Amino acid sequence: MELAEIILYTQKQRDNYVKRFEEALAIPSISTFPENRQYMLRMAEWLTAQMTAMGLENVSLMPTPNNPIVYGDWMHAPGKPTVLVYGHYDVQPADPLEEWDSPPFSPSVRGDYIYARGASDMKGQIFAQLMAVEALLGQSGQLPINVKYLIEGDEEVGSPPLENFIRTNKELLSCDAVLNCDSMIHGADAPSIVYALRGLAYFELTVSGPAKDVHSGMFGGIIRNPLNVLCEVLAGMHDAEGRITLPGFYDTVRLLSEDEREVLRQGPYSERYFMDLSGSPGLFGESGYSSMERLGARPALDINGIWGGFQGEGAKTVLPARAGAKFSMRLVADQQLDEVVKQLEAYLETAMPKECRYALSVHSLGPGAIMDRKAAPIQAAAKAMKLVFGKEPFFRREGASVPVVGMMQQQLGVDSLMLGFGLPDDGIHGPNERQSLPLLFKGIETYLHFMNILGS
Amino acid sequence: MELAEIILYTQKQRDNYVKRFEEALAIPSISTFPENRQYMLRMAEWLTAQMTAMGLENVSLMPTPNNPIVYGDWMHAPGKPTVLVYGHYDVQPADPLEEWDSPPFSPSVRGDYIYARGASDMKGQIFAQLMAVEALLGQSGQLPINVKYLIEGDEEVGSPPLENFIRTNKELLSCDAVLNCDSMIHGADAPSIVYALRGLAYFELTVSGPAKDVHSGMFGGIIRNPLNVLCEVLAGMHDAEGRITLPGFYDTVRLLSEDEREVLRQGPYSERYFMDLSGSPGLFGESGYSSMERLGARPALDINGIWGGFQGEGAKTVLPARAGAKFSMRLVADQQLDEVVKQLEAYLETAMPKECRYALSVHSLGPGAIMDRKAAPIQAAAKAMKLVFGKEPFFRREGASVPVVGMMQQQLGVDSLMLGFGLPDDGIHGPNERQSLPLLFKGIETYLHFMNILGS
């Protein structure tokens, strides 16, 4: 059967798709809450039922110390690429419940959107990919490529079992590329492909001075106040040009080529866009770069939390014994995590005055990732998008971190194609999360073209 | 009767004094707690009963919007100086109760000390002064000087009614000098007199950036993070030499004369002393000054509290919408409060980046005070101490602020003599507060000599 006919078939299935999608959205698979464990299992079983019925093989729930991982494959396209589809079936908690216009686990279609927790992040994305495979297998009995599935149930709690699972199942998961569906596009009429993600190094610093909280009149001006020191040391991590001052920090940062700068300029990312999206009265970053370049291709260092001294109403004249902060860096190719930790330690060694003490702890270290825009899966995705959206997608780097992409590079030695059909204003992690249904349908068609092109 | 005989009389009264002191200490006159209001009144009435019995006149409870002020006088020494004795009869809360070795309002004598809330701060101080007057009036029928009393019940909650009370009772309170007993000495064998106090200006600063908390991956490196800005702006208030950078901040600071530096060098204030007292691993302050000079004669600026972003366990990749801090300056002669506020505003105007917003609020402004070391009351006190302790007291400036001293200068036009017989390690405001009884008795004798010398 021709692809065009299969696409027509899926277009006739849209009401059916919505009904089945609603089944998935009705299951409160919130991985954060132990009391929702039964729903985690129900959601995993809903997936395996779909996958088995559509003709995938070796479909199974693979146990982990947390929630089971859903596996399945179809490996009957010899000589064709094998794509490992990554997704997660867990969702964020839905609170504050009172801010939802319809209950988060009672899916509600209003206009072009379906509202429910997990609609965009990411049940919708994995559903679109599965429906494309279902249509191909059901209508033509075969797929143009080999596929494997790894759908985890712990992404929203940081994927604790995932790295070990991949490491111990390298053969089962071996593939030519990962298709990571946990992504989005820029706009309904602005298809985009993410080809780079920043890494994350998250730290906590505490500074201690006097043995206990002391009176600022009795000691103000003669001892190191941990709050003053903390602010000075944190502030010293940037210069006036917005550059990070840790020694050697930029030494290994991969420079943007003129070619890539031109690619990044194609995106519809005006200064106004970022101001509106953040509500910030202005933009600021490392001098010499556009916001899009800063966001994707340049590292950043931000304080994420700070505390110390008196935080109540009114005034208390205290110099606290301790003060602390959490801060994190977004890292880019080719910064190495262990090098960055050393640079931070070296900075603190110099910057921290000797009249106080400090302790640094590492909360998490996750590598960034950059993929070759010319690689076959990315080019296939771009061509598929062109066919479905009627325009070339633009390429972008993503400022956030998706640890699984780095894991796949490290453990399986393969790049990931990030592809998803949610929108930046879908309200993921917030109330009234939604997914555009027209985009969900375009997603199904894009996946059909993508597999077809990659396998041809 | 000779003074020597009166002193001998007081020495025979020591057991009696302790018994009566215990009566005062047993009354939980905690001004912080509205439910202790009855005890405030009981304590005020205990004072008026003592004062009336010892022969003071016009003894009365003068109402205020908070607790009544105890007044009394003895004005029968024509041509002699009039001293207004200032004290407070309220005490700090006693919690944490479990850290007390004996109940805070069941006075307990152990060794040289009497343990109870308020023993040192400052029932003991006002009691010593009253017992000296009682002995003189009782044994000789007269005093060598005129005295007035103003004993308030709201010092530990910031003396809200006091300024207005002084302003509206200027004639009643008119005097040549204030004897402020809310003070202490350096050590049991190291008598000292405070002749200067720092002022206090206390501020709160909030910085806001994005409209709501945003994801650090999505905006890290492209917008102003209020936490980064707050730390930079606060850190920028000092240079590397520990000097405050607000424009013009030091312009009016009264310079230390060589003479005064020599006076301050007399005190037993080693670097070790301040390190031990604070428990700080080192000392630091404005370059070019000793710790004692920094503490008393140089202004200081300290952050007293800070908050913003994620303070819980673990990691959250957030750039907060807002962050804030409380900070305060200790001010010295001749800095003007309104000038300092303008200097701060000018600094913020320049230092605060335009890509965020900020708001500054003033919590409190209190002037500092400096007294003439050569003035008769201070010299009389110094001579009295020499007689009782067998050694010259040393003079010191105090780093903390005692707002009533500035009020008395502004409203009554008189300087205060700070005189008290508590010790720095008496544990005021903490558990197991205590007062040395030998020092209490020396206090009584010092007050006897002081009045005698001042009136001669």
B322's enclosing H/E stretch is strand B322-331
Cβ of A215 and B330 within 8 Å?
no
Asked if the model's pLDDT at residue A1 lies above 80, the reply is no
Please give the pLDDT value at position A430. 87
- The A residues from 192 to 221 touching B (CB cutoff 8 Å) are 198, 200, 202, 209-212, 214-221
- The A residues from 25 to 84 touching B (CB cutoff 8 Å) are none
- Cβ neighbours of A418 (radius 10 Å): 27
* CB-closest option in B223, B274, B316 to A284: B223
- At position A123, the amino acid (one-letter code) is K
Q: What domains, with CATH codes, occur in chain A?
A: 3-197+368-455 (3.40.630.10), 199-253+299-366 (3.30.70.360)
Which of B32, B134, B144 lies closest to B88 in space, CA to CA? B32
Tens digits of residue pLDDT in A14-64: 999 999 999 999 999 999 999 999 999 999 999 999 999 999 999 999 999
State the DSSP code for B120. Answer: I
A281/B149 Cα distance (integer angstroms) = 57
Measured between CA atoms, the residue of chain A closest to residue B211 is A279
- The A residues from 347 to 406 touching B (CB cutoff 8 Å) are 353-357, 363-364, 398-401
Encode burial over B210-249: b for 16+ CB neighbours within 10 A, e otherwise.
Answer: beebbbbbbbbbbbbbbbbbbbbbbbbbbeeebbbebeeb
Which residues make Cβ contacts (< 8 Å) with residue B347, sequence separation at least 6? B236, B237, B245, B246, B247
Mean pLDDT of chain A: 96
Tens digits of residue pLDDT in B268-280: 889 999 999 999 9
Cβ of A364 and B315 within 8 Å?
yes
Cβ of A304 and B279 within 8 Å?
no
ipTM for the complex?
Answer: 0.90
Q: Which residues of chain B make contact with A224, given a CB cutoff of 8 A?
A: 280, 282, 284
Alpha carbon separation from A121 to A118, A156, B453 (Å, rounded): 5, 10, 85
Q: What is the mean pLDDT of each run of 10 residues along chain B (456 residues)?
A: 94 98 98 94 98 98 97 98 98 90 98 97 98 98 98 93 96 98 94 95 97 92 98 98 98 96 92 94 96 96 96 90 97 95 98 98 92 96 98 94 92 96 91 97 98 97
Quick check: A250 contacting B, CB < 8 Å?
Answer: no
DSSP 3-state assignment of A293? Answer: helix
Which residues make Cβ contacts (< 8 Å) with residue B62, sequence separation at least 6? B68, B69, B70, B71, B165, B169
Of chain B, the percentage scoring pLDDT greater than 90 comes to: 92
Measured between CA atoms, the residue of chain A closest to residue B198 is A217
State the DSSP code for B157. Answer: G
